[in-house]
């Protein structure tokens, strides 16, 4: 039997969750991932962390400043237990600082530096953080941002919103794609991006004819 042309082949993208345990069906109707930083105490520093203040710093026009933000928050025992059992499979750290004003980023959770997906890139969301970094009770997140005030006239008060979301496997979703790239009779390329680490499988389904 001859090979059917690629135009008659359907490429199906199936996401296989990387969690050891499958999330219960009722997870799908949850109101959304909990933000662990809700109600967190914030302190700011513009002197390499030597001194901190509750007052957000102001960056003068056309100036660069290295701002250290320390967030202290509590993690309930229930959430930490669910994370250790695999119910929460990933953490996602997000901020709303304009990337055009950023020059460098660094995140440290409970004295453990969070690796960026690609070093040197400026991310507004860092996915795939190990929930095992959380502790029951007191936790500390340190965010270091080198920022540039692009204005020529006014100071920039720098107080970005920051969230740390605990994700279940049922929160998995596509952010980009899937997109079909280059292909020929024997191969094809598919690009996609998800909001947490996932195994992506590509299956070729031929027509019934």
57, 60, 63, 65 alpha-carbon torsion, rounded to 10°: -10
Per the model's pLDDT, the better-predicted residue between 207 and 78 turns out to be 78
The predicted-structure confidence for 109-139, as pLDDT tens digits, reads as follows: 999 999 998 888 999 999 989 988 999 899 9
25 within domain boundaries: no
Same-domain status, 163 and 178: no
Q: Are residues 69 and 121 in the same domain?
A: yes
For 143, counting Cβ atoms within 10 Å of its Cβ (0-12 exposed, 13-18 middle, 19+ buried), the class is buried
Least confident window among 89-103, 137-151, 159-173: 159-173
Q: How far is CA 24 from CA 86, 87, 166, 169, in A?
A: 12, 9, 16, 9
pLDDT value at 52 more than 90? yes
The answer on 38 and 11 residing in a single domain is: no
Kindly state whether residues 82 and 152 are assigned to the same domain. yes
Is it the case that residue 60 has pLDDT exceeding 70? yes
Mean pLDDT across 81-97: 79
Same domain for 11 and 102, yes or no, is no
CATH at residue 70: 2.60.120
The count of domains in the chain is 2
* Least confident window among 1-15, 83-97, 107-121, 195-209: 1-15
Domain contains 1:
no
Q: 144 and 188: one domain?
A: no
Highest mean pLDDT among 31-35, 80-84, 111-115: 111-115
Q: What share of the chain has pLDDT > 70, as a percent?
A: 78
Average pLDDT, the chain: 81
What is the residue range of 122's domain?
Answer: 31-167
| pLDDT beyond 50 at 34 | yes
For the chain, where are the alpha helices, taking DSSP H only? 77-84
Confidence of residue 31 (pLDDT cuts 50, 70, 90): low
Peptide bond into 178 cis (omega under 30): yes
Q: Are residues 123 and 79 in the same domain?
A: yes
């Amino acid at each position: 039997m001859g090979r059917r042309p690629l135009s008659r082949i359907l490429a199906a993208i199936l996401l296989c969750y990387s969690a050891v345990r499958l999330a219960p069906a009722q997870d799908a109707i949850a109101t959304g991932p909990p933000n662990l930083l809700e109600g967190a105490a914030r302190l700011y520093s513009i002197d390499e962390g030597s001194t901190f203040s509750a007052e957000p710093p102001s960056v003068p026009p056309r100036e660069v400043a290295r701002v250290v933000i320390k967030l202290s928050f509590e993690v309930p025992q229930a959430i930490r237990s669910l994370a250790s059992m695999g119910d929460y499979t990933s953490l996602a750290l997000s901020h709303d600082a304009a990337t055009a004003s950023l020059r460098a980023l660094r995140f440290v959770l409970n004295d453990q530096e969070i690796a960026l997906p690609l070093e040197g890139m400026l991310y507004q969301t860092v996915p795939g953080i190990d929930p095992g970094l959380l502790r029951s009770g007191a936790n500390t997140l340190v965010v270091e941002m080198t920022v540039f005030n692009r204005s020529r006239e006014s100071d920039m008060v720098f107080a970005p919103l920051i969230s740390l979301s605990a994700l279940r496997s049922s929160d998995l979703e596509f952010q980009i794609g899937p997109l079909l790239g280059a292909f020929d009779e024997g191969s094809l390329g598919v690009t996609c991006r998800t909001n947490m680490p996932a195994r992506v499988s590509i299956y070729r389904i031929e027509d019934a004819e």
